[in-house]
Amino acid sequence: MILKICGITNQEDADAAAEGGANAIGFNFYPSSPRFIAPERAAGIFTPPGMRRVGVFVNEPRTHVETLARVAALHVAQLHGSEQFADYPAGSAVWKAVRVTENFDLSQFEECPAEALLLDGPASGEPFDWGMLPAAPRPQRIILAGGLDASNVARAIALVHPWGVDACSRIECAPGKKDHDKMTAFLEAARAALGA
């Protein structure tokens, strides 16, 4: 199970995520994001062995993603955009991010070669209706994102049985700065829901 904290911009938050039990952290390389971090700065943030380093990209060319993945020592490229399967970068796992709206159809991703689909809410920090997802079969592993925190992650896990969960804006005290109490509570609630 992936327990991911996204929007990491500093070592203190990365350390707190690791101490709380996260096994993946996300660095946002979208320049317009309030959580943007330069790849060179992300490279300097230490993560313990076993922690997956995920880069968030929005409509970036494949070669640029591959370069930044090397610079920031990424394990995963999380792609938010209109890229085609042939545009997926080499050298990293891919998590394809998709905003879930009312007419979302999971079956359209049957041929997607990504390691996982990251299903996000219709807008930043907003959950979607988890009950609309089919229980099975699913074309890929599912990572749930969008509006998750300690108050709702157990219900999300119970409904969807995802491979992973991802929290960001609802566990912050300011964009790019995590509230360590909220982050720890989210991770504890997720682990408890998984029986871990």
**What is the C-alpha to C-alpha distance for residues 98 and 91, in angstroms, rounded to an integer?**
22
- Supply the range of the domain harboring residue 167: 2-194
Tell me: pLDDT of 12 over 60. yes
Residue pLDDT, tens place only, 102-159: 888 888 888 899 999 999 998 888 899 998 887 767 778 999 999 999 999 999 999 9
Number of domains in the chain: 1
**Band of residue 48 on the pLDDT scale cut at 50, 70, 90:** very high
- 48: domain CATH number is 3.20.20.70
The two tokens of residue 165 are 């969960």
Active site residue ranges: 6, 120
Q: Which residues does residue 119 pair with via DSSP β-bridges, in sequence order?
A: 98, 144
Task: Please give the pLDDT value at position 14.
Answer: 98
**Which tokens belong to 64?**
């640029």
Q: At which residue do the structure tokens 């959950």 appear? A: 127
SS3 for 158?
A: helix
Contact indicator for 131, 149 with CB cutoff of 8 Å: no
Condensed to tens digits (0 to 9), the pLDDT of residues 77-97 reads: 999 999 999 999 999 999 999
d(CA 184, CA 124): 21
* Confidence label for 196 from pLDDT (cuts 50, 70 and 90): low
Locate tokens 């592993």: which residue? 141
Question: For 158-191, how does the pLDDT look when each residue is reduced to its tens digit (9 = 90+)?
Answer: 999 999 999 999 999 999 999 999 999 999 999 9
| pTM exceeds cut of 0.75 | yes
What pLDDT sits at residue 36? 97
